Amino acid sequence: MPTRLSLTSLSCSILLAVAIPFPRASAQSFFMTPIPNAPFSGVVNIERTIVRKDGSVTQFKSTREVARDTRGRIHNELRALIPVSSTDTPALLNIHLYDPQTRISTEIDVQKRTFWTTTINHPPSAEPPSIRFAAPDGNAPANEFTKQEDLGIREIEGVPAHGIRQTQTVTDENNGKEVVITDEYWYSEDLRINLMIKHSDPRKGITTLTVAQITRTEPDPAFFEVPEGYTHPGVQAGTEKAN
Domain assignment of residue 242, yes or no: no
Find the CATH number of the domain harbouring 19: 2.50.20
Structural domains counted in the chain:
1
Top-confidence residue, 181 or 15: 181
Domain assignment of residue 230, yes or no: no
Domain assignment of residue 167, yes or no: yes
Domain assignment of residue 197, yes or no: yes
Domain assignment of residue 130, yes or no: yes
| String of DSSP letters for 11-34 | -HHHHHHSPBPPPTTSTT------
Domain assignment of residue 89, yes or no: yes
Domain assignment of residue 111, yes or no: yes
The whole-model pTM stands at 0.78
For residues 11 and 28, give the distance between their C-alpha atoms in angstroms, rounded to a whole number. Answer: 19
Task: Give, as one character, the DSSP assignment of residue 185.
Answer: E
173 alpha carbon, distance to own chain's centre: 28
116-165 pLDDT, tens digit per residue, is 999 998 877 777 765 544 444 444 445 567 799 999 999 999 999 999 99
Domain assignment of residue 237, yes or no: no
Structural domain boundaries enclosing 187: 12-221
pLDDT at 111: 94
